Amino acid sequence: MAGDKQNVLSISMLDIGALAQLKQHIEQELDFFSTSLQQLKAAQARYQESENSLDMLKPSSEGKDILVPLTSSMYVPGRLVDVNKITVDIGTGYYIEKDISGSKDYFKRRVKYITDQMEKIQKVAQEKVALREAIVETMDKKIQATFAAQAAAAASKS
């Protein structure tokens, strides 16, 4: 898109009202990033927990009785039949069957992907924080300049 041009406006050119609106918009973006990071961290923990849970499955576990969760607070008795066949939820109602090493690999890839996304969001958030600080600093200078101008006008009338 060589024909696209970006219009860049220095924040020092904006009036106090526009700066306040821009600051509010950036704070909303930062809130969104914070929420997104919390959700990604929770997903990362779930995938990590799933990967770690696979370490408990050993050939000697076959035939052992377990409790199978139906909900977060309701379980039914079950028995491990084939510990090398794992059914993995890959999202949106799709499941795949993998062996233990394939399942571990899947969970490691998901954790890495989520970690990469979190790093990208953190980088953008840091840039937004720096921009917010620059806006606040510019607002403070403009407010001080306005007060100084009002004081000078009041002094010249006296």
What pLDDT score does 157 carry?
78
Residue 5 domain flag:
no
Q: What's the token pair of residue 69?
A: 């969760």
Within a domain: residue 47? yes
Nearest to 44 by CA among 99, 126, 107: 107
Q: Which residue has the higher pLDDT, 9 or 40?
A: 40
Average pLDDT, integer, range 26-54: 97
Beta strand 74-79 with 94-98: parallel, antiparallel or unpaired?
A: unpaired
Q: Which domain holds residue 65?
A: 15-140
- Residue 93 zone, left/alpha/beta (φ > 0; ψ -120 to 50; rest): left
Give the pTM. 0.77
What pLDDT band is residue 33 in, cutting at 50, 70 and 90?
very high
- Decide if 4 is inside a domain: no
Stronger pLDDT, 59 or 86, i.e. the higher one: 86
Say if 149 falls within a structural domain. no
69 is a domain residue = yes
Helices and strands in the chain: count of H runs, count of E runs: 2, 4
Counting the structural domains of the chain, the total is 1
pLDDT, the chain, mean: 91
**CB contact at 8 A, 141 and 10:** no
Residue 10 within a domain:
no
Residue 36 placed within a domain: yes
Res. 74: pLDDT tops 70? yes
Helix H or strand E segment including 156: helix 100-157
**119 falls within a domain:** yes
> What is the mean pLDDT of the segment spanning 104-120?
98
Of 101, 70, 96, 95, nearest to 83 (Cα)?
Answer: 101
pLDDT at residue number 57: 86
At 69, the pLDDT band (50, 70, 90 cuts) reads very high
Q: What CATH number did the domain enclosing 121 receive? A: 1.10.287.370
CA atoms within 13 A on the CB side of 16: 9
